[in-house]
Amino acid sequence: MTDWGARAERLLNDLSTCSEPGPGVTRLPFTPEHRAAIDLLQTQMETLGLTVTLDHAGTLIGRIEGPLGSKTLLMGSHQDTVREGGAYDGIMGVVLPLMALEKLRSDGIELPFSVEVLAFADEEGVRFPTALIGSRALAGTFDPSVLFMVDSQGITLSEAMVAFGLDPDRIGTLARNLNDVIGFVETHIEQGPVLEQEGEALGFVTAICGIERHQIEVIGETGHAGTLPMSGRRDALVGAAAIVTEVDRLGRTTPDLRATVGALDVVPNVVNAVPRRVRMTAEFRSPDDQTRCDAGRSLHSYVRELALRRNLTIKVQKTYSQVAQPCDVDLSTRLTRSATSMGAEGLALPSGATHDASAMADLCPIAMLFVRCRDGVSHKPEEFASSHDMGLAISALAEYLASIDRQTIQADD
Ligand code: HGY
Ligand code: MN
Ligand code: MN
């Protein structure tokens, strides 16, 4: 009897070595670490009998051909990580479907449809200030203007992709046709504490939260920390601190809203000078788009009033947003039924983290399977999912795939 969870754990351990040196896993898109990971995955996919291609958005695609003219079920997740991240976020959602396909093959089960397992190059948006490149390419929503965005070395996304052997000018040709697709099912570590608190190994996502991000620049006036009187100071950091407190207040007083100032840069950032400029971010997330947008508007009006009150110049701009995406009821019900048939409770929950599925929802119906996350910890080296829970997820995915019969596919027509 194959221990599929242990098999997954070994492959994930190998994949975690495809990383920059340092704590945890750092694997950014279009880098040697990315290349090493997709080489490993390609070998695994070819051993499994999948046809493997790398598309011009950097997505590795492992495909099992179904009967002529059959539709395709898309699965997978992202290969990239945050800096000093964990070994499961994203990449586990590529490995587990591969194990499920291998389990079906060893059980002698052939599927009446095609399946593709996708390893998207970039979901985190860490190297470049954009995200979801590969999933947006397939959904036909890729914005080519992001190709000119630069990383911390001044390399454009386009240059990085060309150096990786890709032709970014052809990304626009990658959009899939909904008529060819059954849906997209993403498996992902929960990245939160709910499943562990409920004693559940698996969970089913109801909706992926919407996000909006704001860049804020607070401009004051520097001066000698010892000689500049307190009255009349135009201290940019004091203004920024007020904004941090307001963002936190919005998050704590608004139901279903998460609010975070994640990045803050102070100039001149020395102990004996009054800060003259602060650049900072504010992020709002909610399963309800109206709640999220109201928070963004509230921040902008607060900032305008603060600038007057503290005699500061404050620029604020919304730089990113994505709407909340509900998961497809039919796909999710079938996925839940597959897991409950193996003893899971079928716990349903929203996802505070965003995923490639949020972009794929612009192409086709989506569903997400969550796997329990130890201590709810993610985006850190301590991120962990047990081989027991991964084994249950593999069995649930295999059961799910086997349950999609010809009649179901025709019913979708
Ligand atoms: O930000 C997110 O939610 C995802 O982990 N990139
Ligand atoms: Mn992720
Ligand atoms: Mn992540």
Q: Supply the residue whose CA is at minimum distance from atom 6 of ligand 1.
A: 124
How many angstroms does the Cα of residue 318 sit away from the middle of ligand 2?
23
CA distances, 375 to each of 7, 163, 189, 193 (Å): 23, 39, 12, 6
CA distances, 329 to each of 59, 139, 173 (Å): 27, 20, 30
Of all ligands present, the nearest one to the C-alpha of 354 is: 1
CA distances, 38 to each of 136, 360, 383 (Å): 19, 21, 21
- pLDDT for 408: 59
Query: Any idea where the domains of the chain sit in the sequence?
Result: 4-208+324-412, 210-322
- Name residues of the chain where pLDDT drops below 50: none
How many angstroms does the Cα of residue 342 sit away from the middle of ligand 2?
26
How many angstroms does the Cα of residue 229 sit away from the middle of ligand 2?
49
How many angstroms does the Cα of residue 14 sit away from the middle of ligand 3?
19
Of all ligands present, the nearest one to the C-alpha of 90 is: 2
- pLDDT for 406: 59
Which residues have CB under 6 Å of ligand 1?
Answer: 123-124, 353-354
Express each pLDDT in 296-325 by its tens digit. Answer: 999 999 999 999 999 999 999 998 888 999
Express each pLDDT in 142-172 by its tens digit. Answer: 999 999 999 999 999 999 999 999 999 999 9
pLDDT averaged over every residue in the chain: 96
- pLDDT for 407: 55
The minimum-distance atom of ligand 1 relative to the CA of 354 is 3
The minimum-distance atom of ligand 1 relative to the CA of 131 is 6
Q: Which fold has domain 210-322?
A: Alpha-Beta Plaits (3.30.70)
Q: Which CATH class is domain 4-208+324-412?
A: alpha beta
How many angstroms does the Cα of residue 116 sit away from the middle of ligand 3?
22
- pLDDT for 199: 96
